[in-house]
Structure 1
Amino acid sequence: MAEELRRLRLHQRILRDFGQIALEGLEIGPLLQRAVAQAARATGVGHTKVMRYRAEQGDLLIEAGVGWKPGVVGIARFGTDLDSPSGRALQTGQAVLIDDIRGHPEFRLHPVIADHGIVSLLNVPVTFGNMIWGVLEADSELPGHFSEADAEFLETLAALLAGALQRLTAVQTAEVAAAEIAVRAERRAVLLRELQHRAKNNLALVAAMLARTRRAAITEQNARAAEWMGQLMQQVTAIALAQDRLSAVEGGGLGDGTTTDLAGYLRALLGSLGLSLGGRVVVEAELDACALPFDRAVAVGLVVNELVTNAAKYAYPEGGEGGIVRVVLRCDPSKAEAALTVSDEGRGMDPQVVEAAQRAGGGQGSDLLRHLARQLGGEIERGTPERGTSVTLRFPYVV
């Protein structure tokens, strides 16, 4: 069970990281190569490939891969019929797992597969909407290498990849079709709404897998793993809420569709956190109106998520009286600086004790805060109020 849980954790990290990569707007080639590399890492194999379905040729062409000999990627073609493992995944829309293809009565052995000593195969389709894009495949020289967990992982990775490919395809189509500025602007808005919808669905897939792992940890009475998974689920929720707020800023001259209404995003995030705390802690917010690029807003949101969660845990622990957590955001364009302060009136705790408690529980809260502060080009300051705890994040802010 410990090895299975370790592998599931690796799957969660890879999916979370690839979900972020899928939002970066990479070209199709680099995106596909990232996908096959992460598939190899997660399933522990030396050969992976992603194949594009070519309706005009009636075949599957390897577009990117890991571990193949020269002359395979970009050249090798696979069948789309049901006797082909990748073809069956394409035709049925289902994962195809083969423990040992040697002499298998239902599938033929492709020369490329035989030449590389491949024995077991796992194929999943890459589809979006009503469009079949292709197939993602992992291959092993060992019989019976793949498990159901590997199949679930590869299916989720394929879903994330499909969302990114759909976005890229839609953008390319829009760029070709848009002849006038007004048409381009409207089409961009449509694409952004579609991106938000797809990204939210993709993040929901990751959250579902995290929840499944958390339930397994609870069943096994692994409190440390369950708490760690719960923290990851909150962080995924914070990113999903930021995606919902991705929009043009009214009246701010930033209508490029890449900025986030930071105050609105934090209000939504704090509302979600308040519900998750079950009313034990009241969150009060005083937020200046300001806008940040999406990635910076997500970083600020993750800081708020961490600090508010810490306040609820350490200032107002379960079993005791609840209290108030205050979140104040001040944005000063004239000074090119923003300050975010999270404070409470609880019993307080020495920062070193907090960090020691977090590490004992498997958390890495202090490391995360320092990383996020560096990402924002800012710094964390700990105040010394007469009662409770106060932490301030200062970071550059330029309109």
Structure 2
Amino acid sequence: MTDIASRPEPAVRSIRKLALFGILLIVIMAVTLVVMEYRAEQAKAELRAHTSAHVVATQFEWLLEASAQTLRRVERAVTERGIGGQGEAIVNLNEAVENLPANFQFSVYDARGQLTYSSIADVPQVNVADRDYFHELQRGGELVISPALISRQDGRSIFIIARRIMNQGRFAGVATIAVPSTVLSSLADSLSLSGASTVTLIRTDGWLIARSPALEAIDLSQSEVFTELKKAPDGYYHATSPADGVARIVGYWQVSGWPVVAIAGLDQRAVRSEFWRVLQFWLVLAAPVLLVLGFVVNRLFKALRHDEQKAIALTAANERNAFLLREIHHRVKNNLQTVMSLIRLQKMPQSDKDSLLGRIASMVAVHQEMYSTDRFETVEAAAYLRKLVEEISQSYGREVEVTFSADPVHLSGDRAMQLGLLYNELVSNAFKHAWPANQKGHLDVSLTEDDEGKVELVIADDGTGIVDTGKKNMGARLITAFVAQLGGEMETVSDNGTRVTVRFPVEQQGPEEVE
């Protein structure tokens, strides 16, 4: 039977495959471009977050340095004129803070935390003795930056830069500058950060200093930024904020010389919206091309539909033929087994009966191998011969150790049957004649194929060898006939046992000769 897969493929099927390949290639290219564009947008966002954090860090490094210098001038003025809030002391304080931005508020508190001077007019009496920054300065700290606070003087959201004031070696109070959190909002606006993007200052102990949009002071010591700071003083990473649960690309930069980290967080949704905007632009450009391509492909598949229907019908016919062949080989096998059953019931010498049954069994095995593997053109000889030798060994019940080795030799069904019949005769002869009764034996079977397509079958036993009587019995004549059918040659050596070597081509060459 001709294998359908071996026939030349129709031109229309090749065109269909080419069209499908083209579509697949376009899809792969489109996906690749989309992925590359997405990665490019992510890389731009990472760079922007990192750069924004650097800008924030630079601005606040200047602000903190300027505030620290101002507080040193305030300390000198207070030390020289006293910490009270009258007369020349007030003039000196105003001179000390004249370079501060207008929205910054400065104050002086005495050793008990009581407000003695404020840049805010008509401020109520305020005590900050309970503030953490006051306690830290009271315990010996020199300069402290507080977490985010609500001002007790005017109710604004602020953070405090505070300096200890000493008088004759004793703690005399603190000077503070209140920085409004709105300075971060102005800076965020100048950076043109969109969506739920944020600008944040945090202390290196994790406490929030200020944030835009504003947020109450929280402990962020478990934030991923501190893990990243251990690797480098600046960089970026992707994370979901523990403060509001928004996914962001986070750039961070530690402010040089200060226990402060500047953070710029770009909202991932805003980044993705920019990516989708670019993608929509490319889709608008590609839409006409996709429409034309879709029209061409649709017309092409309509033209090929008739061929596909033919291919389906041909496949169904092929499967039907394969089913019929399986059924034929199965029925032939069953019929041969029926014949074997009839032979077992026939009155005849047991040796003749066993020989006849063995020959039929070798034919049964070929048909069984074909229908069980769905390979009707060739038979894999190794599995076929291994099964035969096992069946022969079981039928004779002799204590014979069989060693079997075989290359993956593939033969046509006819040649496999010829080989099986020859193999049955040779192996059966060995089991019947090689060893005296009740003697253990060894049988070595090998099947090899060389590069020139020649097969060599070797069956060797360690029995008593062949006794030449000068007569050819039925088995010997059959062996000679099967070797001739295979177009091969046989060599027999009797020395410490019998070794039979049969060589034959994989394919039949010339007419078969039967003796």
Task: Compare CA radii of gyration and give the structure with the larger one.
Answer: 2
